[in-house]
Amino acid sequence: MERSYQLDCPVARTLDLIGERWTLLILRDFFIKADVQRFGDLETSLSGVTPAVLSTRLKELEKNGIIVRRLYSEHPPRMEYRLTPLGKSLGPVLKTLREWGLKHT
């Protein structure tokens, strides 16, 4: 289920890209754990996320140019994910959210 605010507003357009539940936590893991993430590592880190939801979020991030995926094992097929330069540009946003959370929650 894709949510879209359909508003000509930079905040709404950004939320259309990264505002779904779990998406910011997936991005968090790229910044605090490792530049390259594997599906299983993300699934373990994000306690409570279902494989289907994680897969959907990763596909959306890839579609929006925030991450790229690469096959690292053919048998069985397994993927790893890496931030693109666009994805890396979200680092200051996540840092600011973290700092706000430390101060106010």
Give residue-wise pLDDT tens across range 5-62.
888 899 999 998 999 989 999 999 999 998 899 999 999 999 999 999 999 999 999 9
CB atoms under 10 Å from CB of 3, counted, come to: 10
Whether the Cβ atoms of residue 50 and residue 43 lie closer than 8 Å to each other: no
What tokens were used for 61?
Answer: 């991030």
Give residue-wise pLDDT tens across range 77-90.
899 999 999 999 99
CA distance 23 to 52: 13
DSSP 4-31: ----S-HHHHHHHHH-STTHHHHHHHHH
DSSP classification of residue 45: H
State the pLDDT confidence band at 1, using cuts at 50, 70 and 90. very low
CA distance 59 to 51: 12
Q: Residue 82's pLDDT is what?
A: 97
- CATH node for 21-104: 1.10.10.10
Determine whether 23 is exposed, middle or buried from the number of CB atoms within 10 Å of its CB (0-12, 13-18, 19+). Answer: buried
Residue positions counted in the chain: 105
* Average pLDDT rounded to a whole number, residues 72-77: 89
